[in-house]
C-alpha cells in the first residue's frame, strides 16, 4: 500500500515538473533549414562530448555521426541567422554550443548576455 502511494506521488511530481518545462522553440515552415541547422549543432555538440580519441568502435561511430551533423553549411546558416537577428532567443543555446565547438566568434560580453537569457547550463558558467 505504501509503495502505491510512493509511485503515485512520484508520478504526480513528474507530471507537475513537466508542466513547468520550457516550451520548445517554434519555427515557421520557411525556417526548416534553420531548424535543422540548430538540431545538427546540438547533435554535433553532444557527440563532441562523447569522443574518447582511443580509436575504439564507439569513436568510429561518433566520427560518423559528427560527419553527419557537424557540417559547415548549417553552422554558417546559424551564424548568419544570429548576426541578422541577435535578439532571437530561439537561437541562443545553439549559438552558444557552436561558439564552443568552433573558433569562438562571440565576444565575452555576448556570451554573458546569451547565457543570462538562455540559462544553457551545458555551455554557460
pLDDT, tens digit, 9 for 90 and up, residues 72-98: 999 999 999 999 999 999 999 999 999
Closest CA to 69 of 92, 89, 90, 51: 51
Domain-embedded: residue 68: yes
In a domain, 16, yes or no: no
For the chain, what is the domain count?
Answer: 1
Q: Which domain holds residue 95?
A: 29-118
* Residue 5, in any domain of the structure: no
Question: Of 16-20, 36-40, 55-59, 111-115, which gets the smallest average pLDDT?
Answer: 16-20
SS3 sequence of 25-90: CCCCHHHHHHHHHHHHHHHHHHHHCCCCCCCCHHHHHHHHHHHHHCCHHHHHHHHHHHHHCCCCHH
Higher pLDDT among residues 43 and 122, named by residue: 43
Amino acid at each position: 500500500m505504501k509503495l502505491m502511494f510512493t509511485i503515485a506521488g512520484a508520478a504526480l511530481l513528474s507530471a507537475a515538473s513537466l508542466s513547468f518545462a520550457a516550451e520548445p522553440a517554434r519555427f515557421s515552415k520557411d525556417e526548416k533549414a534553420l531548424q535543422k541547422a540548430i538540431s545538427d549543432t546540438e547533435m554535433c555538440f553532444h557527440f563532441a562530448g562523447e569522443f574518447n580519441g582511443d580509436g575504439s568502435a564507439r569513436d568510429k561511430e561518433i566520427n560518423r555521426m559528427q560527419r553527419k551533423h557537424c557540417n559547415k553549411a548549417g553552422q554558417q546558416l546559424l551564424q548568419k541567422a544570429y548576426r541578422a537577428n541577435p535578439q532571437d532567443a530561439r537561437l541562443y543555446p545553439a549559438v552558444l554550443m557552436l561558439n564552443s565547438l568552433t573558433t569562438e566568434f562571440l565576444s565575452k560580453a555576448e556570451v554573458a548576455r546569451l547565457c543570462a537569457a538562455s540559462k544553457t547550463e551545458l555551455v554557460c558558467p
